[in-house]
Amino acid sequence: MIEEVIEKLAILLQGRIPSRIDIERFDNEIEHELGEMLNQFIDFMQEIQEIIVPLSQGELQDIKLQSKNFLASPFKELHSRLLHLTWQATQVANGDYKQRVDFMGDFSEAFNSMIISLDHNEKLLKKKIDELEKALSHITKLEGILPICSNCKRIRLEGAAPENQDSWIQIESYISKRTEAQFSHGICPECMKKLYPELMK
Amino acid sequence: MFKEERNYNKFTWRDLGDIERGRPNLGLTVPVLAYRLLQYTLRDVLITESGVDKANDIFIKAGRLAGVQFCENLLNRELGFNEFIAQLQQVLKEQVIGILRIEKADMENMRFTLVVAEDLDCSGLPFTDEVVCQYDEGFIAGIFEAYTGKPFSVREIDCWASGERVCRFVAREVKVDK
């Protein structure tokens, strides 16, 4: 009996799962009890080994451990925390930055800092986009080919008849109507000389 | 309040009194053992006087009453679900009641799996192969009911006393036939 128990424990210590002991053949009560306890230990270790692989691979949904398997308690807790983190990460991915991880040491700190940074950066980005959109709304572009009188510089309205004088408007009016630019009038020195030569003397 | 015969509940948040004024030196909190002494002795007497089912029922109903008042007085019910949960997690931590964690949330069917770690009622209890947090079941149901305005059923599926290291609850909306 003892040799068999030692052999099973040696296998367990090597990280492998031995077969259970056949306890029916033991008449001695103590041997029977020892065999039963060893079998339970083997079952618990087997259960842990069966769940730790999927757990390490992130397969969280179908893991269920026997409630009496106290050896697996830390794994049960880890499983629960990973499920919760999965839920929280999903919420964060959906833009919910109110989530916080509590009492998970360095991980809490890192996760919470990440959420705060994401929140801060998104707010900053939204502010920038808002500013750019506002700036954009003030810009009106003039595109295309404008027909212009080569002498008086009037511009012909789009689609208007060229032979009709009303079709041609001052360049200032044209631009003012289509953009937010305004004009202030003055006279350049060359025109001044032409128009008011007496003032230039 | 406590001396009159009646067949309806009339507990409100005000019945808790002005604790800050009443305990200027000892403060707002008490050790967990004081809370458990009250709960477990009361429960023990209720079981002997009224039976297990009745005792559990009373605890669920009392928890529900507490949950509704807790939600109405300490939580902002206008928040969206996720924000509400974040707030609930924060308030339960501040009130040193437990560490709330949502494991699953099925918004379509209004069914949630949530965990309370370091639960005030049962964390550290010896293994007795049973779930014992009936008060929490009612408490969580009361919070969800006050928040959603719909009836909720909450069942504890794992507990320290059943060998887990957290309390796990399934909360779901009770569909009422119209």
Total CB pairs under 8 A between chain A and B: 61
In a domain, B178, yes or no: no
By CA distance, what is A100's nearest residue in B?
A: B86
CB contact under 8 A, B103 and A91: no
Q: How far apart are CA B165 and CA B116, in angstroms?
A: 10
CB contact under 8 A, A91 and B168: no
Q: What are the Cα distances from residue A116, in Å, to A85, A111, B91, B99?
A: 16, 9, 19, 21
ipTM of the complex as predicted: 0.76
Q: How far apart are CA B114 and CA A83, in angstroms?
A: 10
Q: What is the pLDDT of residue A37?
A: 93
B17 has a pLDDT exceeding 80? yes
Tens of pLDDT along B102-130? Answer: 999 998 999 999 999 999 999 999 989 89
In a domain, B88, yes or no: yes
Average pLDDT per consecutive 10 residues, chain A (201 residues; last block may be shorter)? 90 93 88 92 91 87 78 87 90 90 89 93 94 81 82 89 92 84 88 85 68
> Residue B55: left (phi > 0), alpha (psi -120 to 50), or beta?
alpha
Q: What is the pLDDT of residue A16?
A: 93
In a domain, B5, yes or no: no
In a domain, B63, yes or no: yes
By CA distance, what is B166's nearest residue in A?
A: A77
Helix (H, G, I), strand (E, B) or coil at B172: strand
State the average pLDDT for chain B: 94
Q: What is the pLDDT of residue A21?
A: 92
Q: How far apart are CA A155 and CA A150, in angstroms?
A: 9
In a domain, B4, yes or no: no
In a domain, B2, yes or no: no
In a domain, B50, yes or no: yes
Whether B162 has its CB under 8 Å from any CB of chain A: the answer is yes
**Taking CB atoms and an 8 Å cutoff, what residues of chain A touch B158?**
67
Strand blocks (E) in chain A: 155-156, 168-169
Pick from B82, B114, B169 the residue to mutate for testing the A interface (most A CBs within 10 Å): B82
B178 has a pLDDT exceeding 80? no
Whether B157 has its CB under 8 Å from any CB of chain A: the answer is no
B44: tokens are 């023990």
**Taking CB atoms and an 8 Å cutoff, what residues of chain B touch A119?**
none
In a domain, B41, yes or no: yes
Q: How many domains does chain B have?
A: 1
Out of B86, B87, B102, the one facing A84 most closely (by C-beta) is B102
Cα R_g (chain A), whole angstroms: 42
CATH number of the domain within which B104 lies: 3.30.1380.20
Q: What is the pLDDT of residue A63?
A: 79
Out of B86, B115, B162, the one facing A99 most closely (by C-beta) is B86
Averaged pLDDT for residues B27-44? 95
For B18, the enclosing helix (H) or strand (E) is none
Model's pTM, two decimal places? Answer: 0.74
Q: What is the pLDDT of residue A140?
A: 65
